[in-house]
Amino acid sequence: MKKILLIGDSIRMGYDHYVQESMANVAKVYFPKENCSHTTAILRMIHCWTDDLKLYEADAVHFNAGLWDTVRIYGEDTLLRPETYAYNLERIVKRIHFLFPNAKVIFATSTPVQEEGYIDAFETRYNSDVEAFNQIACEVLPKHGVLINDLYHLMKGVPADYYSDQTHFYTAAATERLGKQVARTLCQALDIDESLLLTPDSAKYHCPMRGIPDKEAYVQQGHIYVRKESYR
């Protein structure tokens, strides 16, 4: 049975269990409990996460990182400069190849956000930044043999009720859409018959309260924003 590692931020955390269930007949799907957040965190921790999972061989690694890297805090620039993002992605792929020399590597582009849901003066993201960073990944990573899973365009233009907040997709319809795409992409990369995939009950993955809109969770206190006590 194939071994697959999923690495990524809270978008990955929305579909990982769905993919694991969908591929139960054809692969063992592993993923950290932690939010893998940004590219620098992945560089620092991927070998620790795989050790915690006792995963020392893998047939495929599917990863995403970008939404944390593109966040703008208190009016500043994106968390990472574009050139640093590109450099980190190349280092991540090098690390994956070191840990799993025979693994197919797949990168999932960052998904679109609902810009109006952010507090612009606090923490915000812009789809123009997400698109720019995705473009960097699509230019840099194929040079290293990485396949691209375009989740950005998969989710672009979906109904607003697919979102659970301004960033996440913890709803049944969105989880199914993302999960099916990831599972299909992995099957194609590993020459697995897609007809062997299972169809999970997406209703059990409908958890919209996992995502709390920033405008609901934070309040301005002087010149800064703080989390409301009810959401601590």
pLDDT tens sequence across 63-118: 999 999 999 999 999 999 999 999 999 999 999 999 999 999 999 999 999 999 99
Token pair for residue 33?
Answer: 């409990």
What's the topology of domain 2-207?
Rossmann fold (3.40.50)
Contact between residue 28 and residue 53 where contact means Cβ atoms under 8 Å apart = no
pLDDT tens sequence across 184-194: 999 999 999 99
For residue 28, give the H/E element and its range: strand 27-30
| pLDDT in the model for residue 89 | 98
Q: What is the mean pLDDT of residues 16-20?
A: 98
Q: Per-residue pLDDT for 38 more than 90?
A: yes
Q: Per-residue pLDDT for 20 more than 90?
A: yes
Q: Per-residue pLDDT for 232 more than 90?
A: no
In the chain, what are the domain boundaries?
2-207
CA distance 21 to 35: 20
CA distance 227 to 219: 6
On whether the pTM is more than 0.85, the answer is yes
pLDDT tens sequence across 123-176: 999 999 999 999 999 999 999 999 999 999 999 999 999 999 999 999 999 999
CA distance 145 to 56: 21
Token pair for residue 200?
Answer: 């999970």
Which band of pLDDT confidence, cut at 50, 70 and 90, is reported for residue 209?
Answer: confident
Phi/psi for 68 (5° steps) reads: -70, -40
